């Protein structure tokens, strides 16, 4: 009788490395977000400039409906940036275009299915080719640029299984005005002119 050698038992460390390499969805969210942003940076260095065709409120609303339709279980995301300003405009029944179109929406989420759909829509994806803008999944630390108590003023909307949380317009304008780029001031002025805000941030724009 010929004895066959027993298969070597993988150590926990080796199993973990094998799992992460074989199944990227098992990687920590922060790492996967960084990888996505790294891929976008490499595309920019290669000369593949992102398209800037995100300009109308209904574009963001349609994207959120599409994300919700692809979910098999409850999930949530937080929306910030210019896309969030467009979201507020849509909820107010306005479809006024941004004075300077944006290249992306900036969602934050810890839900696997949402993250995967966001990865499918990064720079250079079929999504960008079809829609003219991309999805820039953000790390949770991006919320550090908002006022500490932003959640108390945020808005929430349910899209089927998807729960969307959006900071108030005034809170969204805080990091934009702090950055001080011409496009950010143009977006802030648009928010005032469309009646989305009459608060403290509006006074800084007048």
Per-residue pLDDT at 204: 61
Tell me whether residue 27 is in a domain.
Answer: no
Q: Is the pLDDT of residue 48 over 70?
A: no
How high is the pLDDT of residue 21?
Answer: 40
Token pair belonging to 183: 């496009």
Tokens of 182: 């011409």
> Is residue 28 one of the residues assigned to a domain?
no
The distance in angstroms from the start CA to the end CA of the chain is 91
Q: Kindly report, residue by residue over 71-116, the tens digit of the pLDDT.
A: 999 999 999 999 999 999 999 999 999 999 999 999 999 999 999 9
The answer to whether position 47 is within a domain reads no
Q: Which of 121, 139, 123 is nearest to 28 (CA)?
A: 139
Q: Could you give the CA distance from residue 90 to residue 164 in angstroms, rounded to a whole number? A: 14
Q: What is the mean pLDDT of residues 11-34?
A: 43
**The sheet that has 134-135: what strands, in order across it?**
134-135, 104-108, 75-80, 162-166, 155-159
Let me know if 87 is exposed, middle or buried by CB neighbors in 10 A (0-12, 13-18, 19+). Answer: buried
Higher pLDDT, 172 or 41: 172
Domain membership of residue 79 (yes or no) is yes
Report the sign of the C-alpha dihedral through residues 39, 123, 78, 27, in that order: negative
Question: Is position 3 within any domain?
Answer: no
17 falls in which pLDDT band (50, 70, 90)? very low
Judge whether residue 195 has pLDDT over 50. yes
Give the H or E element holding residue 163: strand 162-166
Look at residue 110 and tell me if it is in a domain. Answer: yes
Q: CA 118 to CA 63: how far, in whole Å? A: 11
Residue 117 confidence (pLDDT) above 80: yes
For 142-154, what is each residue's pLDDT tens digit?
999 999 999 999 9
Query: What pLDDT sits at residue 155?
Result: 98
Structural domains of the chain, count: 1
**Is 181 a member of any domain?**
yes
Is 68 inside a domain boundary?
Answer: yes
Percentage of residues in the chain having pLDDT higher than 90 = 70
The range of the structural domain enclosing residue 90 comes to: 52-205
Q: What pLDDT was estimated at residue 31?
A: 55
Which residues does 52 contact at the CB level (< 8 Å), separation at least 6?
Answer: 100, 101, 102, 103, 132, 133
C-alpha to C-alpha distance for 134 and 107, rounded to whole angstroms: 11
Residue 18 has pLDDT above 70, yes or no: no
Mean pLDDT of 196-206: 67
* pLDDT one-digit tens code per residue, 139-188: 999 999 999 999 999 999 999 999 999 999 999 999 999 998 999 999 99
Distances (CA, A) of 32 to 20, 88, 113: 11, 29, 13
């Amino acid at each position: 009788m010929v004895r066959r050698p027993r298969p070597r038992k993988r150590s926990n460390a080796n199993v973990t490395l094998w799992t992460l390499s074989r199944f990227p969805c098992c990687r920590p969210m922060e790492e996967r977000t960084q990888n996505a942003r790294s891929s976008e940076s490499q595309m920019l260095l290669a000369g593949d400039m992102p398209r800037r065709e995100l300009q109308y409120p209904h574009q963001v609303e349609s994207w959120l409906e599409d994300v919700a339709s692809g979910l098999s279980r409850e999930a949530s995301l937080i929306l910030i940036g210019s896309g969030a300003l467009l979201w507020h405009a849509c909820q107010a029944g306005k479809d006024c275009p941004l004075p300077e179109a944006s290249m992306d929406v900036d969602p934050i989420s810890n839900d696997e299915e949402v993250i995967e759909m966001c990865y499918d829509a990064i720079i250079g994806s079929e999504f960008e080719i079809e829609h003219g803008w991309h999805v820039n999944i953000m790390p949770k630390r991006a919320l550090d640029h908002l006022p500490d108590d932003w959640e108390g003023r945020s808005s929430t909307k349910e899209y089927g299984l998807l729960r969307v949380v959006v900071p108030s317009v005034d809170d969204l304008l805080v990091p934009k005005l702090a950055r001080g780029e011409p496009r950010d001031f143009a977006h802030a002025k648009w928010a005032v002119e469309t009646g989305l805000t009459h608060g403290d941030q509006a006074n800084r724009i007048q």
